[in-house]
Amino acid sequence: MSLATHSRTAAEPHAVASTTIRVLTGDRPTGVLHLGHYFGTLANRVALQQAGHDVLLVIADYQVMTDRDHPGDLARVVNDLVLDYLASGLDPQRTTVFVHSAVPELHQLMLPFLSLVGMGELSRNPTVKDEIAMSGRSSVSGLMMTYPVHQAADVLFCKADLVPVGKDQLPHLELTRSIARRFNDRYGPVFPLPEPLLGDAPVLLGLDGRKMGKSRGNGIALRDRPDEVAAKIRAARTDSQRDITFEPQRRPEVANLLRLAGLCAGRDPAELAAEIGPGGAAELKRVVTDSVNAFLEPIHRRRSGFDERDGHRLLDQGTARARALAVDTLREVRAAMGMTYESAGVCLR
């Protein structure tokens, strides 16, 4: 996969044509981005933006508290995340990045949305069930059960057409569509139904063979230096069979490393396996390390061209734009619901 540079100089930030698709995705600010995110959704976000679409990114800071007591060092994590976006190739002139806590009108959408969902469907959501199980906590908070409704507000406030997500987010998008449909049925047409866009890359496991997670430390971060990458891959799990073969069912850890190298080098993992063959795990790890480091090099180069001030500027611009969109949508929602008492909506500005 080749990463384009910032050659585009948009005459006006966010000037978009009428055929433009509006794309919204988001991340929880729980840590730095890793290669799983890159191939899962970041690559799609960059490609959609390069195709001229309107890409919005929500940093879902309130969502961080779903499975923990404290949101952590949000200022640092959010700064790092914004720089990861820029390093990945999102165009600073055209990307709308914002933290949802800075857009109060977005949250107000949650009230009517909550009235459109049932307790049963909230408690059946498979992703929420997994998160509850993984959190290891004895009680489940109201936020845990309702954050998918909150996420519907993240998507619908800007009337997004397309939501590039990982597979685990599909139940949330289905709920978002239900909410949009039910709102339109009850109050009149306000929301388009957003479509999911799944990355075509296979899901990458962490280097320990478990799901790759920001907070699990088992992935390769976009910012990892070459020596850190080498150390992580050296410590990655393989198996005791000498010859390297690509057999995802029987040899998941080896297959995962082959996939990782394949994605980074734009190669077929089975072909790589055939080339490595009797070279064994040592040769496999050398190939993976080289491919990952070669892939990360342009990302690191791009990152070194940005500093924290660029990140802050991006967030300020993004928040201003997101807020203007949210104000408009909330005004429409209130009008549809018959909540128009004050003159000219003055209370909303």
Note the residues at the interface with ligand TRP (CB under 6 A): 24-28, 58, 60, 63, 151, 154-155, 163, 165, 169
Block residue for tokens 């919005």: 56
Collapse the DSSP code of 158 into the 3-class scheme (helix H, G, I; strand E, B; otherwise coil) and give the result: coil
- The angle that helices 142-156 and 170-187 make with each other, rounded to 10 degrees, is 70
Distance CA 247, CA 273 (A): 10
Q: How far is the CB of 142 from ligand TRP (least distance, A)?
A: 17
How far does CA 268 lie from the centroid of its chain?
Answer: 25
Collapse the DSSP code of 294 into the 3-class scheme (helix H, G, I; strand E, B; otherwise coil) and give the result: helix
Q: Which residue is nearest to ligand TRP (CB)?
A: 26
Q: Which is nearer to ligand TRP, 58 or 236 (CB)?
A: 58
Q: Which is nearer to ligand TRP, 31 or 89 (CB)?
A: 31
Q: How far is the CB of 166 from ligand TRP (least distance, A)?
A: 7
Q: How far is the CB of 297 from ligand TRP (least distance, A)?
A: 27
Q: Which is nearer to ligand TRP, 108 or 289 (CB)?
A: 108
Q: Which is nearer to ligand TRP, 156 or 276 (CB)?
A: 156
Structure tokens belonging to residue 296: 């990360």
Q: How far is the CB of 231 from ligand TRP (least distance, A)?
A: 27
Distance CA 102, CA 157 (A): 13
Q: How far is the CB of 71 from ligand TRP (least distance, A)?
A: 14
Strand order in the sheet with 22-27: 96-99, 54-59, 22-27, 162-165, 195-198
Distance CA 172, CA 316 (A): 28
Q: How far is the CB of 151 from ligand TRP (least distance, A)?
A: 4
Distance CA 97, CA 13 (A): 13
Q: Which is nearer to ligand TRP, 194 or 311 (CB)?
A: 194
Q: Which is nearer to ligand TRP, 100 or 259 (CB)?
A: 100
Structure tokens belonging to residue 6: 């910032």
Task: Indicate the pairing of strand 96-99 with strand 162-165.
Answer: unpaired
